[in-house]
Structure formats: C-alpha cells, structure tokens
C-alpha cells in the first residue's frame, strides 16, 4: 500500500510540474527534492550536488556531444542532395520506386545523426519535393518517411542508446552493436510494406523510371561512398574493439570535418552553427540526465524501486506478461513525452523490475528503443509528425494515418525480438569473441 501511495504521489507531482510547463529536467529535480524532504532524512542539497556532478562528469557520456556534433556537421553538408542522387538509380526499378529512397536514406542518415527528427528533416528536405514532382502518392510518401525516420533512434550511433547505457551502466559499445541487426530488420519490413502497398495500389503509382547503366549508377553514387566509409569506420572500430564509443565518436567528427571540407560546405558560418547546434542539444540531454540521476537517487532512498521489485516478484508475473505490460505502458507514455524523457523518467523504477525478471539489459535496451520509436509517430506528441507537418504542409491527422501501418510493423518487430532475443544479442556476443 505504501508503494502504491508513493507511486501516485511522485507521478502526481511530476504531472503537475510538466503540465505547468516546467522543463523536464527541473521537474525531475523538483519531484526528487520534495520526495526526499518528505520521506527521508537525507540532506537534499548534498545528495543532489554529489549525484549530478557524478553523472555529468562520466567519461562514457563524452561520446554524446561528439556524435551529436558529427551529425550536425554532416547535416550542413550536401548530404541530403547526395542521398537522393546516389540512391535513386538503385531504387527506381523496385516495386514502390523512389519511395525506397526514404527508407534506405533514413537508415543511412540514422547511422550518422542518432536523432530521429534530424533524420526526417534531412531526408525529407530533398525527397519530398522530388517525389511530389514525380506524382508519388502522398500517403505512401509521408508515411514511409515518418516511419523510417524513427530508425535514427536505433541504428548506431544512437543518442538514446548512449543515454540508456549511462543510466543503467551498461556498455554503450555493446548497445550500439546490438542495434544494428534489429535496425536493418525494421528497415527491411518497411521496404516490404512499400513493395506490398505499391503492388496493391498499382494504379496510384507513377510509371517506373528508365534504368541507368551500371557505370552511371556508380558515378551518381560516388558522393555517397565517403559517407558510407565514414559510417563503416566508426561502427567497425567499435565492433573490432580498437576504439571505445567515445574514441569512435572522435573519429567520426574528424571524418565529418574532412568530408565537409572537401565538399566545400565547411564555411566559418556552418562550422559555428554546427557547434552551436551540438552544444544546445548536448546541454539539453545532459540536463535531463542530471535530473534523472537525482530522481533515481531519491527513489532509492525511499526504497520504492526495491519494494516494487519485490512486489513484482510476489505477483509471479511471467517475463512475457511483464514485457507486454511495459510495451503498452511505454506506447501510452510516448504519446505525451519525447523518447529521451520517457526513458530517463522511468528507468529508476523499471530497471529493478527488469533485472529481477532476469532480462538481459542489453536486449532490454534495444526493446525499449523500438517501443520508444513508436512514440515518434503517435499523436499528440509525435516529433516526426510535427517535423513532417512543417515540411509537407499536411494535416497532422493525415500524416498520423499514413504512418499507422509502419507503427503496426514496429509492434510486429517488438514481438519478433521478444520471441527471438538473439536478433539483438548475437552480434554483441560475436564482438566479445573477436576482441578475445
């Protein structure tokens, strides 16, 4: 009964803060301070200062601003133009035609930015005008772009996986590697959906474009080759164990600067904007993480996570039932919070439950990110929907309906990795063996 009261109390105070427009990080700090003052005898100021400093000074966390900066640099290059020009000749003859550029382009940019909104904005900036000019159906165009943009959260380097790894103290390198196969699997599901939709609605699709010669395709794709080499170098250096996530991020920044220099898109102004963009994003995330660490400490002092874990154990819920409940919980939560906030707000309570149930925390991280991905395309707070609404000048309801089939595909992907957890765990195990 005490645990239920504490949960209702903490959630109520948090909702009051969030509902009145208080920043997420400050809301967490406020809830934590009130909880500690009312339910513990610990000194609030000392605990807050020690915890926030300990979290903010984490060496692992240095990978975050570096990966964000890498994405910001490439965002300001000719990457979006090169993505379309380079991928279009290879995709044009597939059923669904150039719609596949949305899916593959988002998957490629996801391996650069780690941000869902940046992925949608970059790929959509070039593909929306080009696909509209060729008379592709709006429903398929916007739906595929909204859904594929979510791959930015899963395919490494993923910002949210860094945050999850820091929060639960798991290897970021392992989490990155674990996200590769599920990310590719979901991209394939999206491409199969595009193929199926285009076959069923053949009359709505434009005629297939003339195929280019192989040498012409290679020439058109030449600008993409350096980007693919950069992605492979960053992820490959982590996989073979020659670099940590932070070192790989440094490599990525240097590579992005060299690439943008040779593309002649690195100006004094673009360099300054990339630094400012990375600083703003990194500070926002670091602030949320600091609030999250203090909330986790306050929860620990009240004994709530430990008692909740015991309560879950006494309920004798099967692991599968627990995971299904958590899936529903995070989908609902994601309708009102962005992915990063949803993860950091809940892990203090959820982590003990998951460990008690015997789940692998690397696997759970991938599961969690896929579920949080769904929230990017669910109203009322679906960030990908907002980004597309501004770019496409379409009603939010229309974009949400267009993205709904891809939402269902992500639910299917969740059940696949629940039934076959090795999809997420096989590659990290291979990485460990290769290092040994």
3-state secondary structure 351-388: HHHHHHHCCCHHHHHHHHHHHHHHHCCCCCCCHHHHHH
Owner of token pair 């070039």: 126
Q: Token digits for 274?
A: 């990339």
| pLDDT bracket for residue 304 (50, 70, 90) | low
Indicate whether 265 belongs to any domain: yes
Indicate whether 349 belongs to any domain: yes
The sign of the CA dihedral 398, 399, 404, 406 is positive
Indicate whether 252 belongs to any domain: yes
Q: Token digits for 294?
A: 């203090």
* Domains of the chain: total: 1
- Could you read off the pLDDT of 83-139 as tens digits, one per residue? 777 777 777 778 888 888 888 888 887 777 666 777 787 788 778 888 888 888 889
- Residue 75 sits in which domain range? 24-435
286 pLDDT above the threshold of 70: yes
- Residue 68 and residue 117 in contact, taking contact as beta carbons nearer than 8 Å: no
| pLDDT bracket for residue 423 (50, 70, 90) | very high
Lowest-pLDDT choice from 30-39, 157-166, 245-254, 282-291: 282-291
Indicate whether 11 belongs to any domain: no
The sign of the CA dihedral 272, 276, 282, 287 is positive
Q: Token digits for 140?
A: 């398929």
Indicate whether 203 belongs to any domain: yes
Indicate whether 376 belongs to any domain: yes
Q: Token digits for 126?
A: 């070039």
CA angle 53–368–363, rounded 5-degree value: 95
- Residue 153 and residue 376 in contact, taking contact as beta carbons nearer than 8 Å: yes
Q: Token digits for 97?
A: 């035609």
Indicate whether 16 belongs to any domain: no
Indicate whether 351 belongs to any domain: yes
pLDDT at 324: 87
């Amino acid at each position: 009964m005490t645990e239920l009261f504490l949960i209702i109390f903490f959630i109520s105070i948090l909702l009051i803060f969030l509902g009145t427009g208080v920043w997420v990080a400050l809301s967490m700090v406020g809830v934590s301070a009130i909880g500690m003052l009312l339910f513990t005898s610990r000194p609030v100021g000392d605990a807050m200062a020690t915890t926030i400093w300990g979290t903010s000074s984490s060496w692992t966390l240095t990978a975050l601003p570096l990966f964000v900066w890498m994405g910001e640099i490439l965002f300001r290059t000719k990457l979006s133009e090169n993505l379309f020009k380079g991928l279009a000749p290879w995709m044009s003859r597939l059923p669904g035609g150039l719609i596949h550029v949305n899916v593959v382009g988002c998957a490629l940019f996801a391996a650069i930015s780690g941000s869902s909104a940046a992925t949608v904005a970059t790929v959509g900036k070039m593909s929306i005008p080009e696909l509209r000019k060729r008379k592709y159906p709006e429903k398929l165009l916007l739906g595929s772009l909204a859904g594929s943009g979510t791959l930015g959260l899963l395919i490494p380097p993923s910002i949210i996986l860094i945050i999850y790894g820091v929060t639960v103290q798991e290897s970021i390198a392992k989490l990155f590697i674990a996200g590769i196969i599920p990310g590719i699997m979901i991209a394939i599901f999206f491409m199969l959906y595009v193929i199926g939709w285009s076959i069923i609605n053949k009359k709505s699709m434009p005629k297939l474009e003339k195929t280019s010669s192989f040498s012409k395709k290679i020439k058109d794709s030449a600008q993409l080759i350096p980007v693919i080499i950069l992605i492979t170098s960053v992820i490959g250096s982590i996989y073979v164990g020659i670099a940590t996530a932070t070192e790989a991020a440094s490599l990525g920044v240097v590579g992005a600067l060299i690439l943008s220099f040779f593309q002649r898109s690195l100006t004094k102004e673009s360099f300054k904007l990339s630094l400012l963009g990375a600083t703003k994003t990194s500070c926002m995330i670091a602030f949320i993480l600091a609030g999250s660490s203090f909330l986790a400490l306050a929860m620990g002092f009240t004994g709530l996570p430990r008692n909740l874990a015991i309560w879950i154990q006494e309920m004798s819920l099967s692991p599968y039932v627990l995971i299904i409940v958590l899936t529903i919980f995070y989908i609902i939560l994601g309708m009102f919070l962005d992915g990063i906030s949803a993860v950091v707000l809940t892990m203090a309570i959820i982590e003990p439950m998951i460990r008690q149930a015997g789940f692998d925390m690397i696997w759970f991280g991938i599961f969690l990110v896929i579920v949080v991905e769904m929230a990017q395309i669910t109203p009322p707070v679906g960030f990908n929907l907002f980004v597309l609404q501004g770019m496409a000048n379409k009603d939010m309801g229309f974009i949400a309906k267009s993205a709904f089939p891809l939402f269902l595909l992500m639910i299917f992907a969740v059940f696949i990795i629940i039934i076959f957890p090795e999809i997420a765990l096989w590659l990290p195990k291979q990485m460990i063996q290769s290092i040994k």
